[in-house]
Amino acid sequence: MKYCYHLLVLLVLAGCGGGDDGTSSQSQQEKPTTTLLGENTVPTDARFQQFETYLFEINPADFEFSGNRLYLKVYLSSGNTLYLGQIDKQALFAFPISVPVKEQVVRYDLFSDFAGDKAVTGESTL
């Protein structure tokens, strides 16, 4: 009896498959007629990269911190941190960053281990 019930359910499910009701949309784009890359061209100004690499530079000596240790946090507006660590307070600090193409600003926080120093927050336009 159980096998007959399962067979009946399978037949009903197979019979109610989605058929074509004749209202297919004509607005679908046509597929390319070839798969050769040379025959499927793109505009010359098309961009396929998702990330850009920039050189981020900051000179800590410009900010006159009193503390012995200086820390830098570089991040995006989305909150993604690109760098967080200790840097030399006497030397120019530069490193490459890779950011999404849509990003135009990188933010940074500069702070020291001395309680009397105020943290510096800034932005660098890419």
Domain ranges of the chain: 56-125
> What pLDDT, in 10s, does the model give residues 54-74?
999 999 888 888 888 999 999
Predicted TM-score (pTM) of the model is 0.60
Lowest mean pLDDT among 14-18, 88-92, 112-116: 14-18
Architecture of the domain spanning 56-125: Sandwich (2.60)
> According to the 3-state scheme, what is the secondary structure of the chain?
CHHHHHHHHHHHHHHCCCCCCCCCCCCCCCCCCCCCHHHCCCCCCCCCCCEEEEEEEECHHHHCCCCCCEEEEEECCCCCEEEEEEECCCCCEEEEEEEECCCCEEEEEEEECCCCCCCEEEEEEC
